[in-house]
Amino acid sequence: MANGAVRAAQAMAYYSRRSMSMREHIRELWAARELLRALVRRDLRVRYRGSYFGFAISILVPIVQVAVLTVVFKRMTRFSSIENYSAHLFCGTLPWSFIYLTSVESCNCILKNRDIVKKVYFPREVLPLSVMLGNLIHLGFTMLLFLLYLFVVVRPPVLWTLVWLPVIFFFFAALALGLSFLFSVANTLLRDVEYLLSFAFTLGFFVTPILYPAGVVKQNLAEPYFTIYMLNPVAVAIEQTRFAILGAGDFPPPTSAQLAAGAATCVLALAAGYAVFRRLQWRLPELV
């Protein structure tokens, strides 16, 4: 590189078929952080301010959901014995909504931005990443409101296990990002993934311990099947959230084997989703 000095002085870009090294890639992603921030800001602004009641609605939806579920299930089933059933429900529905909304919104994040995907180069990871981050911020916000309500109005004992919440959500966010990577390219390739996904999530709602605690399943399911049931990383995250906030259930975050398994599943999902994304991202401008 004889003229290396001259080149270094300029912003040089050199590209060919060879794919970027991981280091170049991370540098590029870092350079795109302003774009990421702008996209997250856009999504949140539109969500909270799209209509006059945008903000109120985004807060009311989870509350109404829990209110209805509480009335129906507390009255009609034996879960009525569970102390503070609504709090149990919130621990389930808030993370569930996060993973559900992230997945569904990811399906269209590339199609929705086709104008810029076709015309401007930027690391495409930014799009699914912005969907996940926007929803994560929303989750943090609703979770905070829930905790405020819980500890100011209901006043259960405050547990030291609360410090595990960030760790639980860290892995949960990794899972959501993995799904976000996967579904963003999958639905761009095969446009009906979106519909199948809503169906899968409707079923998933019932096989995940949201309405009921996992302990009930444990009593009713023979052992190999219960372990399989708990392979669902969303189930693990929800049960751990319950333990961290309410001290309920059999899955204390730091010690149970499910934690390690759940965290490993989340990281694996992220790695797999990202691998698929990186393989197919070059075809995106042709496909949208």
> What are the residues binding another protein (CB under 8 A)?
2-3, 6-7, 10-17, 34-35, 37-39, 42, 45-46, 49-50, 113, 115-122, 190-193, 196, 282, 285-286
Pick 190 or 207: Cβ nearer another protein: 190
Which is nearest to 259 in space by CA: 161, 185, 193? 161
Pick 58 or 65: Cβ nearer another protein: 58
Pick 4 or 224: Cβ nearer another protein: 4
> Does residue 245 contact residue 166 with C-beta atoms inside 8 Å?
no
| 3-state secondary structure (DSSP) of residue 10 | coil
User: Residue 22 phi/psi, 5° resolution?
Assistant: -60, -35
Nearest distance in Å: CB 39, another protein = 8
Pick 252 or 285: Cβ nearer another protein: 285
Residue 105 CA to residue 90 CA, distance in Å, equals 22
135 token code pair: 């929803």
Q: Which residues make Cβ contacts (< 8 Å) with residue 223, sequence separation at least 6?
A: none
Residues in the chain: 288
Nearest distance in Å: CB 118, another protein = 7
Residue 11 CA to residue 22 CA, distance in Å, equals 20
Nearest distance in Å: CB 282, another protein = 5
Pick 14 or 160: Cβ nearer another protein: 14
133 token code pair: 């981050």
> Does residue 238 contact residue 209 with C-beta atoms inside 8 Å?
yes
What number of CA atoms fall less than 13 Å from residue 219's CA on the CB side? 5
Alpha-carbon torsion 54, 58, 60, 65, what sign?
positive
Nearest distance in Å: CB 127, another protein = 11
Nearest distance in Å: CB 275, another protein = 17
The DSSP result for 162-173, as a single string, is GGGHHHHHHHHH
108 token code pair: 């269209």
Pick 44 or 168: Cβ nearer another protein: 44
Pick 146 or 183: Cβ nearer another protein: 183
Residue 119 CA to residue 239 CA, distance in Å, equals 44
Q: How many CB atoms lie within 10 A of CB 194?
A: 18
Nearest distance in Å: CB 133, another protein = 15
Pick 15 or 160: Cβ nearer another protein: 15
Residue 40 CA to residue 125 CA, distance in Å, equals 13
